[in-house]
Amino acid sequence: MNQRSTHSSRTLYIQMVSQLIPVYGEDESRQLAKILFEEHGIAFEKIMIDEEIILDSTNELSIYEKADLLKNQVPIQYVLGKAHFFGREFIVNPSVLIPRQETEELINEILIDNKKPHLDILDIGSGSGCIGITLALELKHARVTAMDIDGAALDVTLKNAQIHGIEISCMLEDVLQLDQLPGQFDIIVSNPPYVMEREKLSMLPNVLNHEPHKALFVPDEDPLRFYKKIIALAKKHLKPKGKLYFEINEHYGLDMIRLCEKNGCACVRLVHDLHGKDRILKTMFD
């Protein structure tokens, strides 16, 4: 039987914030503590009025364990095992990248351009599955295939698909080793590794130390390696009027345009993210 103890909600909150401040600063520490408390059923209103709260030993231990993870700069999404993306909740763990706002902007571009039902979509480097699953939910009767090199990542994709009640096909493949794709597609989309190795020096520890490196980094000497391969495959496997979408490194917008044009792409368009950075590229072959 779990033991139960009574706490001052405000005292517990202040204690938590003070432990996090050396790592995150005051404002972010307050927000993280608030999220952590609410995940354990402690509404922020209880903290404001300093209502006494009763915690069983399991719940109390969980709060302190998660606080310790945060102190070690584990991202809050991994601590809680979930992230929000395009208005929905997705399971995440350290085998997949945490979904980001820039990728939501990529989704928006695809939805603006594509209104027809029954589209065949390939998501290369699916990770959590947030791109493919969101498209399957937002586009009527879309058929989605998710590809990833990592089996653990595809497990997360499948779990998220089940949670959201959709069917999705999965491929465990290294796209760099493929010469053919399984069929023809109306849309090929990818948010591949695009952070250069030398950019590690400017990255925050919570990303560098905890998110999967093989989903983040490319060699400095070949930063466009995934785009080159995917463009070559798309050239053979996009249907007539099919579209290709990428999330890209902000420093390589013009290089990506040149790469696409060199490979016979038409209607190449570079889109800025909400911070004004080159982030999305879309194109087609006819």
Structure tokens at 84: 């929000």
Q: CA-CA distances (angstroms) from residue 115 to 143, 186, 200? A: 14, 12, 39
User: How would you write 217-236 as a 3-class SS string?
Assistant: EECCCCCCHHHHHHHHHHHH
Contact in structure between 238 and 188 (CB atoms under 8 Å)? yes
- In one-letter notation, the amino acid at residue 179 is D
What's the rounded Cα separation, in Å, for the pair 260 and 285? 9
Contact in structure between 154 and 96 (CB atoms under 8 Å)? no
Q: Provide the 3-class DSSP secondary structure of residue 266.
A: strand
Q: What confidence score (pLDDT) does residue 261 get?
A: 95
Average pLDDT over residues 28-45: 92
What's the rounded Cα separation, in Å, for the pair 260 and 228? 9
Q: What confidence score (pLDDT) does residue 274 get?
A: 94
- Please say if the pLDDT value at position 2 is more than 70: no
Least confident piece of the model among 44-48, 51-55, 113-117, 148-152: 51-55
Average pLDDT over residues 150-154: 97
Residue 240: φ, ψ to 5°: -55, 135
Q: What confidence score (pLDDT) does residue 60 get?
A: 81
Q: What confidence score (pLDDT) does residue 58 get?
A: 79
For the stretch 229-277, pLDDT in tens is 999 999 999 999 999 999 999 999 999 999 999 999 999 999 999 999 9
| Of 100, 122, 256, nearest in space to 269 by CA | 256
Q: What confidence score (pLDDT) does residue 31 get?
A: 95
